[in-house]
Amino acid sequence: MIDTHTHIYLPEFADDLDEIVSRSKESGVDHLILPNVDVETILCLQNTQKKFGAYCSAAMGLHPTSVEKNYKSVLDTVYEELNKSKYCGVGEIGIDLYWDKTYYKQQFDAFIKQVEWAAQRELPVIIHCRDAFEEIIKALKTIKYIPVKGVFHSFGGTPEQVKMIKELGDFYFGINGVVTFKNAHLEDTVKEIGISRLLLETDAPYLSPVPYRGKRNEPAFMVHTATRIAEILNVSFDEINDETTKNALSLFRLSL
């Protein structure tokens, strides 16, 4: 399995990071993708990647909740990082109107700019979309003339939204521990996505699957997400493992 979205470089893992990675490997997770959050997390992200070598890949981007008045200067730093180092994607980027709509215009602009950078580099985008589906679709249609591919991270939308995204282009859907929640009701969504467009993720330290809901998440817990998806699609755990790994290798151009 490949955890296509995890933040093990954050302070929540500072005290036991080696153990976290060891448990991840023991659980059958073969690779981790680490999306950036903001300027302050870049160094921790890079240090974590260096520490664990080929086991981790990094993506560079500015998270929408980190977009404020000074976002242009912050984006300049992100742009410099994209030019300096090798990254497997541009992310975590997007639009988030759940907490605060104050900087919506800035988020919209920052999202478009980063998607364009990704397209220019033929890199996939890792999209964060919270209470902003229509805005994300609008943004992507604005730049539809540019070849864009990527993943809608932590996807919890409807089957109808899945169809809309598929019509836009080469997009995958990241499914995490939320799919194990009784009140999530993502069965029809997962079926509409189909195994050929699924990616596994944790979003650790957030969104732990049952039976760890409410606790700090970690890559090793992804086995519970994969098990639940296998139940929904009526396929074996091994098939989920194989197909989602194949999808991740293809999207992020990884060679393990």
Q: What is the pLDDT of residues 86-127, one digit of tens each?
A: 999 999 999 999 989 999 999 999 999 999 999 999 999 999
Predicted local confidence at residue 143, as pLDDT: 85
Band of pLDDT at residue 228, cut at 50, 70 and 90: very high
pLDDT at 147 over 90: no
Backbone angles phi, psi at 232, to 5 degrees: -65, -45
Q: Which pLDDT score is estimated for 52? A: 98
Contact between 3 and 31 (Cβ < 8 Å): yes
Under DSSP, the state recorded for 14 is T
**CA separation for the pair 236, 140 (Å, rounded):** 35
According to the model, what pLDDT value does residue 46 have?
A: 97
pLDDT tier for residue 219 given thresholds of 50, 70 and 90: very high
DSSP E strand boundaries for the chain:
2-3, 31-35, 56-59, 90-96, 125-130, 149-152, 170-175, 198-200
Q: How confident is the model at residue 69 (pLDDT cuts 50, 70, 90)?
A: very high
Q: Please tell me the predicted confidence (pLDDT) of residue 146.
A: 80
Averaged pLDDT, 62-89: 96
Closest by CA to 62, choosing from 111, 99, 103, 118, is 111
Percent of the chain with pLDDT strictly greater than 90: 95
| pLDDT for 255 | 86
Q: Which residues contact 142 (CB under 8 A, 6 or more apart)?
A: 112
How do the domains of the chain map onto residue ranges?
2-252
What does the pLDDT look like over 24-58, one tens digit per residue? 999 999 999 999 999 999 999 999 999 999 999 99
Tokens standing for 229? 């998806």
Instruction: Please give the model's pTM, rounded to 2 decimal places.
Output: 0.97
Give the right CATH number for 2-252 from 3.20.20.140, 3.90.850.10, 2.40.50.140, 3.40.50.800. Answer: 3.20.20.140
